[in-house]
Amino acid sequence: MYRSQKLSLRYYTAAVTLFGVMILFGLLSALYYLYPSLLFNIFNFNMSKILHIDTLVIWLLMGFLGAVYWYLPKELGREVEGMWLAELTFWVFCAVVAVVAIVFLFVQYGGANEFSMWFINQGRKYVEAPRWASIGIVAVMLVFAYNVIATCIKARKMTGIMWVLVLDLIPLVAVYLDAFPAVTNMSVDLYWWWWLVHMWVESTWEVLIGCVMALVLMDVMGTSRRIVETWLYIEVMLVLGAGILGLGHHYFWIGTPQYWLSIGGFFSALEPLPLLGMVVHAIYDAGTHRLKTRNQPAYYWITTEALLNFIGAGIWGFMMTLPQINLLSHGTQWTVSHGHFAFYGAYVCGIIAVLYVAKQQTSGVDVLGGRAWKWGFGLLNFGMVGMVMGLLLAGMAQAFYGRAIGGSTLMAFTTASENPWFVSGMWARMFFGVMFAAGYVVLAYDLLSSPKRVPAAGALPEPA
């Protein structure tokens, strides 16, 4: 095993751990809606939410880093350059996350001053971590970029996938610089904040997961390099073609000019189209391989990624993206429904697939299967679908009663939140959230336990 692949396993372990922490705070956050006096003035909803969404970003990022460190030496035929630095920054990353979490748990808030921004809580969604920690994360990402680029240079070899990855790293790191400023003008603050959030989860991360999936497809299904590279380029073209100006769907209501309603709505409405192409591709692959593979769980999770990405990001997004709808659905549980489904479909499924690839290749088992992964697969998917349906119900009620009828005042918000449909949605979310958590436990157990091999039936794909 390459040294970077050993590092990869450490990143995967940290990622799975933080996935669990994320779920823990997700369950807690959901409980507040049902028991509002829970931990009142001790540990409030906003701190629980911060830990939920920040661990989401970090665990997925760690999954990405792990996946790249796993495949990089195999792609370029040599050990990754600067490994001692990469190994050091892994521990730096973990330490930063731990310290920030402890401060969020026990200090929580500071005064309205620069000290709070530097050391306690910046209070901007997803990037609440204080500035000192943001510096740490920038350092980690710069080292990562150095590892990738230096290895490419030393190997004197570039593949198409590597080119896409390297070029993607530039905006990935650059937009994170918006984690630092505290701009007084909320319109300007949000304008650039969306460059960070949208250009991560709807642009650079899409390209990154595309690169990772290309590498996984070659590995798990034996697809040829020329095919995966062609698809990667098509995907980049379509996803960025729609996604860059699709950023405008966050610029409807923050004080920006009216033309964003047309531009953002139009490009956002195009975003499901490439996702349908991915569904077709996933079914083609499923049929071509007659559902046979060396790694059953990875294969099923990759296919699920394509389907749920289309549904969670495509269908759910399309329902609420046109400005006339969005005016009333914006900032409700409807948004939460879409956000959960899209993140899960676009990224979580793909990262889980990568974890199973690592499991198979570290265990040396020829064909990976078993029963536990199926339970994890079922519970996680049913749990997520149940959660988003509950949130959709609550969100539609909130948009209907709170925004459309009530006009978004405090009383309208209160009335909508006490509406039986809303409350039912919150209970459904809780129930399915517990199911999802159970799925996570099974997933973690399955990843850590001895691999179950299944007998190979018929010809299996060879790695490309």
Partner 1 sequence: MDIQDPSFWRAGAISTTLVMLVVLAFLSIDSMQVISVGGRNVPKYDVINQQIGYEYNWSRHAAVPVIGAAEPLFGKTVTEAEATDLMRTGKLVIQSRACMDCHTIFGNGAYYGPDLTKSWLDPAWPQIWMPMTGKTTREDAMVEFLMHPDKYPTWTRAMPNLQLTQDEARATVAYLKWLSAVDTNGFPANFSQAGKQP
Partner 2 sequence: MTPSALLETAALLGLFVLASGGYGSLYSAGRIWSRPALIRAGGVCWALAFALALVIAIHTPLDPGWKLLILASAVVYLVIPPMTWRYLDRMHHEQEPHR
> Pick from partner 2, partner 1, none: which does 277 bind, CB < 5 to 8 A by kind?
partner 2
Contact between 58 and partner 1 by CB under 8 A: the answer reads: no
- Find the shortest distance in angstroms from Cβ 72 to partner 2: 24
Contact between 295 and partner 1 by CB under 8 A: the answer reads: no
Report 331-350 residues binding partner 1 (CB under 8 A).
331-333, 335-336
Q: What is the gyration radius of the CA atoms in the chain, in angstroms?
A: 22
DSSP 172-218: HHHHGGGGS---SSHHHHHHHHHHHHHHIIIIIHHHHHHHHHHHHHH
DSSP 160-179: HHHHHHHHHHHHHHHHGGGG
> Pick from partner 1, partner 2, none: which does 281 bind, CB < 5 to 8 A by kind?
partner 2
Q: 453: helix, coil or strand? A: strand
> Pick from partner 1, partner 2, none: which does 407 bind, CB < 5 to 8 A by kind?
partner 1
Q: 463: helix, coil or strand? A: coil
- Residue of 214, 211, 216 lying closest to 300 (CA atoms): 216
- Residue of 15, 359, 385, 345 lying closest to 205 (CA atoms): 345
- Find the shortest distance in angstroms from Cβ 270 to partner 2: 8
How many residues in total does the chain contain?
Answer: 464
Contact (Cβ atoms closer than 8 angstroms) between residue 144 and residue 170: no
Q: 107 or 405, CB closer to partner 2?
A: 405
Residues that bind partner 2 (CB under 8 A): 223-224, 226-227, 230, 262, 265-266, 269, 272-273, 276-277, 279-281, 283-284, 286-288, 307, 310-311, 314-316, 318-320, 322, 324-325, 327-329, 396, 399-401, 404-405
Strand partners, 453: 368
When binding is defined by CB under 8 A, the residue of 151, 268, 381, 417 that contacts partner 1 is 417
332 C-beta neighbours (distance < 10 Å), count: 24
When binding is defined by CB under 8 A, the residue of 99, 139, 183, 325 that contacts partner 1 is 183
> Pick from partner 2, partner 1, none: which does 150 bind, CB < 5 to 8 A by kind?
none
Report 197-256 residues binding partner 1 (CB under 8 A).
226, 229-230, 233-234, 236-237, 240-241, 244-245, 247-248, 250-256
> Pick from partner 2, partner 1, none: which does 36 bind, CB < 5 to 8 A by kind?
partner 1
Phi-psi region of 291 (alpha: psi -120 to 50; beta: other; left: phi over 0): left
Q: Could you give the string, one character per residue 126-145, with x where binding to partner 1 holds by CB under 8 A and - elsewhere?
A: --x-----------------
Q: Could you give the string, one character per residue 373-412, with x where binding to partner 1 holds by CB under 8 A and - elsewhere?
A: -------------------------x----xxxxxxxxxx
Q: 81 or 202, CB closer to partner 1?
A: 202
Report 7-36 residues binding partner 1 (CB under 8 A).
32-33, 36
Contact (Cβ atoms closer than 8 angstroms) between residue 296 and residue 454: yes
User: With b meaning 16 or more CB within 10 Å and e meaning fewer, what string describes 218-244?
Assistant: bbbbebebeebbebbeebbebbbebbe
Max CA pair span of the chain: 66
When binding is defined by CB under 8 A, the residue of 224, 363, 414, 449 that contacts partner 1 is 414
> Pick from partner 1, partner 2, none: which does 310 bind, CB < 5 to 8 A by kind?
partner 2
Contact between 273 and partner 1 by CB under 8 A: the answer reads: no
